[in-house]
Structure 1
Amino acid sequence: MARVELSPAFEDVDADILVQLIADMIERLMAHNDQIPLSPESLTRFHSRNPPGISVLDYLRRIVRFTKAERLCLLITLHYIDQICARMPLFTLSSLTCHRFVITSVTVSSKALCDAFCTNSLYAKVGGIPLTELNLLEREFLRMIDWRLTCTREILHEYYVNLVRTHSKGIYYIAGHESSSSISSDSDMDWETGRSRSVSPAATLAPESPRPPTLEQNMAFAAFQQESRRSSQGS
């Protein structure tokens, strides 16, 4: 399969390609977390009774189509996942929580970071949930991230580069960041990359902050928790 070179700036990449990259990462995270047994203390407002009948990829495409969500708002969802998992270790992004989390994230980030955004009524309709439910989810989401709605452009750039590098099909690459052999498989998911020299310190959303735990670190932590539960139950 021919490989496709992507723009070094996430703001310039085709929106549907960015959606594919994000969906690929989230779906792998969900596949891992769906193996973790639910416990009463881990249930949140984001949990649905059953997994929605639409894939993450199609759901993200639907959101972009009807809300014109900006690339920034899509990419920062990964940062929010890391923030919340670091603050609330029992929370996992699974097939029961993902869709509500994503539509809430786009709703919150669009209003915080964009000059133009939709009404909650439209976001709720696009997300397939009642307006009253989205309003509650929005308040809960803000509480979970402690109202920390921004991060630096440099951090978002790292997410973008790592999404490309760890994409399961390995068909995309960013010239100057990876060679054709370095975009790898699930065994190479440590998210270790250098920071872009082209990033201007002025092009930031907020002052520099410590690098948060990565999605992969949270996956490892979730696996550790699962094994600890099994050990305690067996003792």
Structure 2
Amino acid sequence: MGTTQELNGKALNSKLGLLEHGNGVSGPPKVLSLLSSVLERTIQKNERSLKASTKKDVVTIFHGSRAPAMTIRQYADRIFKYSTCSPSCFVVAYIYMDRFLQTTNAHLTSLNLHRLLITGVMLAAKFLDDEGYNNAHFAKVGGISTKEINELEMKFLFSIDFRLHVTLETFNKYCLELEEEATAKSRIGGSIPVSGSRHGRQNNDKFKRAPTIEGQSCTTV
């Protein structure tokens, strides 16, 4: 896969807010709200399906004992604000999460979403961006320990067989799904229908040392 600039230049339009980022536009990019909506719809569908079924979900180390108090959108905004990763990382993280769920046969639920998201974004930032923060910083942003995020990272990587490369065609396909979410929200006035998504490395020396996050806290997920 190419750099963030190459992906943005070839694939995307302003609906996701990827092109405007870094060009004087303030606030989080549109992709965060759209991705949060897609993930929320998927979780609602999966949890209803699991509740109605006698089949138990596959439990992984990404599962918590209870759902975090922080919403998906709040968590995504926090990751973006304090990781300073490119918006494209959230699309790539979405792809990585889909790969993980397909290979493990686990369902995306409120118990595993937050850990999957912070791990996916961290891996995407390492693979896609020219520079970024280390595991300890992402752990602090995600509200978990450095030891835990290291374990999550390795489990994630082995589960997807270290398949971090994403083709431009795949990237475009997931962007299209998010763009369709924007169209759906506009058509129905912001109400999101409940339906599922159609889709079913260690610290690097080049990553700069993480500063302390002042005045912000995140409940451990």
Q: TM-score w.r.t. structure 1 length? A: 0.67
1:113 deviation in Å?
A: 1.9
Separation (CA, whole Å) in 2 of partners of 1:119 and 1:185: 35
Q: Which moved more, 1:113-122 or 1:152-161?
A: 152-161
* Alignment deviations for residues 78-129 of structure 1 (CA, whole Å, 9 cap, x no partner): 211221232222x111100000000001111111222101011110000000
Runs of 4+ residues deviating >6 angstroms = 38-41
In the alignment, which residue of structure 2 is the partner of 1:87? 103
Separation (CA, whole Å) in 2 of partners of 1:115 and 1:60: 21
Answer whether contact 2:43 2:109 (CA < 8 A) is retained.
Answer: yes
Check if 1:21 corresponds to 2:34.
yes
In the alignment, which residue of structure 2 is the partner of 1:140? 155
1:216 deviation in Å?
A: 2.1
The equivalences for 1:2-81 within 5 A come to 7=14, 11-13=18-20, 15-35=28-48, 36-37=50-51, 42-81=58-97
In the alignment, which residue of structure 2 is the partner of 1:203? none
Task: For residue 99 of structure 1, give the secondary structure of its aligned residue in structure 2.
Answer: helix
Answer whether contact 1:10 1:160 (CA < 8 A) is retained.
Answer: no
**Which amino acid in 1 is paired with 2:120?**
S
Separation (CA, whole Å) in 2 of partners of 1:39 and 1:45: 19
Answer whether contact 2:62 2:116 (CA < 8 A) is retained.
Answer: yes
Check if 1:151 corresponds to 2:158.
no
In the alignment, which residue of structure 1 is the partner of 2:115? 100
Q: TM-score w.r.t. structure 2 length? A: 0.71
1:8 deviation in Å?
A: 6.6
**Which amino acid in 2 is paired with 1:53?**
A
Answer whether contact 1:103 1:127 (CA < 8 A) is retained.
Answer: yes
Separation (CA, whole Å) in 2 of partners of 1:160 and 1:139: 27
Q: Which moved more, 1:60-69 or 1:154-163?
A: 154-163
1:186 deviation in Å?
A: 4.1
**Which amino acid in 2 is paired with 1:143?**
F
1:139 deviation in Å?
A: 0.3
Larger-Rg structure: 1
1:16 deviation in Å?
A: 2.5
Answer whether contact 2:15 2:182 (CA < 8 A) is retained.
Answer: no
Which protein has greater RCO, CA pairs closer than 8 Å, 6+ apart? 2
Q: Report the CA distance shift for 1:94/1:56 in structure 2 as closer, same or farther (over 3 A).
A: same
Identity of aligned residues (%): 27
Answer whether contact 2:93 2:121 (CA < 8 A) is retained.
Answer: yes
Please tell me the root mean square deviation across aligned C-alpha atoms, in Å: 2.8
Answer whether contact 2:34 2:182 (CA < 8 A) is retained.
Answer: yes
Answer whether contact 1:167 1:185 (CA < 8 A) is retained.
Answer: no
The one of 130, 153, 160 aligned to 2:145: 130
The equivalences for 1:190-205 within 5 A come to none
